[in-house]
Amino acid sequence: MSSRDPRRFLRYLEAERKATLLYRALADVSDGERREALLELADIEEHHAAHWVQKLAEAGIDVPPAPTTLDPQDAAMVARARAAGMDGVLADLEEEEGANAGMYDDEPDAPDSMSADEREHAETFRRLRGGRAPATSPSVVAADGTVDLGEKWHKIDASGSVRAAIFGISDGLVSNTALVMGFAGTGTDRGVVLFAGIAGLLAGAFSMAAGEYVSVASQRDLFRRELDMEAAELRDKPEEERRELELIYRAKGMDRETARAAVDKIFADPDKALDTLAREELGLNPDELGNPYKVAASSFLAFAIGAFVVVLPYIFLTGTMALVTAIVLSVIAMLVVGGLVGRFSGRGVVRGALRQFAVGALAAAVTFVIGRVIGDLTGLSSAGLG
């Protein structure tokens, strides 16, 4: 069917009418905020259908009667919701709306608000499915409109500096221990082992810093682009953004009047509105987009600290004493770092410590054996240097 053929309106009308019928049927087996959200979605789809009825009338095409019963697939979905609850069908609704979100993007006879509505429907189902707080969950609206939905145990390091430091120490410890053990295994003299350890420390630290800088800087650019796009939407379509934020709060368990009052207070200040939309819709904290310089410096220092552990004995000791001391210090450091990682990640101190030790010890043992083989082949081991 040609994109200029007005009979295409029949297809749009059928889809909108089916959606209206389905959402009203699902609302009958729902309650609370889910029921209200479904009824609102049905009203929106009904409004869309009326638009296509008007377009068909203008084109002189007969408008078919509206369906009064669900098609078999939709009827089965309603039956499933009635038997097992709405949780069992929300994922399907989200997927279906997501697949149809762009159906009006290239349609010149569809208003811009219609395309925005279709995209918002999939987001609404996603929030109803995964972001909805229990009805008993406390919601507090401050005087400035700020909403506190609890769960203060969520503490995310959006800047990435803690993550970079943890992995930097772990990576520096494991990689440089393996490198130094490899050189020590060859039987070469203390100066060569010390030089290799320092070279590995500097090369790894600069590499980690550069990688983290590029990563966080790119992420920051992406986040700023998302914020700029959200600011444009807030400027051009403020009513749609108001409705979207209200739906977000309602999907989290707030009643209609409380959500509306909170949104009114928030939108009284454009800066606060953008900040709130960024947090609620995009999941971003505009105050913590990440500092690439801070993360790069943190990565450099963390890697250097971890890598320095195995180098330290070779600065003051020689021969077997240096090797044994390096092994002991590395084992202690691996257990401590692994325990801290386990504690921060919630996996358990003992589990984290043993995992870190197992990985580090295996890497060091393998490189030591390889170094010993190379030393035997080249005659360094038999030379007894060090």
Could you tell me the pLDDT band of residue 142, with boundaries at 50, 70 and 90? low
- pLDDT score recorded for residue 138: 39
Could you tell me the pLDDT band of residue 381, with boundaries at 50, 70 and 90? low
Same domain for 312 and 255, yes or no, is no
Same domain for 205 and 226, yes or no, is no
pLDDT digits (tens, 9 = 90+) for 181-232: 999 988 888 899 999 999 999 999 999 889 888 988 888 888 888 888 888 8
Tell me: pLDDT of 140 over 70.
no
Percentage of residues of the chain with pLDDT beyond 70: 84
Tell me: pLDDT of 2 over 70.
no
Q: Copy the structure tokens of residue 339.
A: 């325990």
CB 311 within 8 A of CB 184: no
Mean pLDDT of the chain: 81
Tell me: pLDDT of 122 over 90.
no
- pLDDT score recorded for residue 161: 56
Same domain for 347 and 369, yes or no, is yes
In a domain, 330, yes or no: yes
Same domain for 119 and 265, yes or no, is no
Q: Which domain covers residue 244, as residue numbers?
A: 221-280
Q: Copy the structure tokens of residue 180.
A: 């130094």
In a domain, 2, yes or no: no
Full DSSP string of 201-252: HHHHHHHHHHHHHHHHHHHHHHHHHHHHHHHHHHHH-HHHHHHHHHHHHHHT
Same domain for 80 and 180, yes or no, is no
Range of weakest confidence among 110-119, 201-210, 349-358: 110-119
pLDDT digits (tens, 9 = 90+) for 312-344: 999 999 888 999 999 999 999 999 988 887 877
What mean pLDDT comes out for the span 82-86?
A: 79
Same domain for 175 and 116, yes or no, is no
What is the 3-state composition of the chain as percent helix, strand, coil, each rounded to the nearest 5? 75, 0, 25
What mean pLDDT comes out for the span 19-44?
A: 85
Same domain for 65 and 202, yes or no, is no
Same domain for 373 and 358, yes or no, is yes
Whole-number Å distance between alpha carbons of 343 and 315: 32
What mean pLDDT comes out for the span 129-141?
A: 43
Same domain for 206 and 166, yes or no, is yes
Tell me: pLDDT of 79 over 80.
yes
Q: 347-351: list long-range contacts, CB under 8 Å, 24+ apart.
A: none
Whole-number Å distance between alpha carbons of 375 and 314: 19
In a domain, 77, yes or no: yes
In a domain, 143, yes or no: no
Could you tell me the pLDDT band of residue 135, with boundaries at 50, 70 and 90? very low
In a domain, 156, yes or no: no
Tell me: pLDDT of 301 over 90.
yes
What mean pLDDT comes out for the span 278-285?
A: 74
Whole-number Å distance between alpha carbons of 245 and 274: 11
Tell me: pLDDT of 15 over 50.
yes
In a domain, 251, yes or no: yes
CB 242 within 8 A of CB 267: yes
What mean pLDDT comes out for the span 100-127?
A: 76
pLDDT digits (tens, 9 = 90+) for 143-195: 455 555 444 333 444 444 566 677 788 889 999 999 999 999 888 888 999 99
What mean pLDDT comes out for the span 34-45?
A: 85
Same domain for 38 and 118, yes or no, is yes
Number of domains in the chain: 3
Q: Which DSSP letter does residue 70 get?
A: -
Q: Copy the structure tokens of residue 104.
A: 């009006």
Same domain for 210 and 265, yes or no, is no
In a domain, 140, yes or no: no
Q: Could you tell me how far CA 305 lies from the centroid of its own chain? A: 30
CB 63 within 8 A of CB 53: yes
Could you tell me the pLDDT band of residue 385, with boundaries at 50, 70 and 90? very low
In a domain, 149, yes or no: no
Whole-number Å distance between alpha carbons of 94 and 115: 16
Q: Which DSSP letter does residue 381 get?
A: H
Same domain for 205 and 344, yes or no, is yes
- Give pTM, 2 decimals: 0.52
Range of weakest confidence among 32-41, 94-103, 198-207, 236-245: 94-103
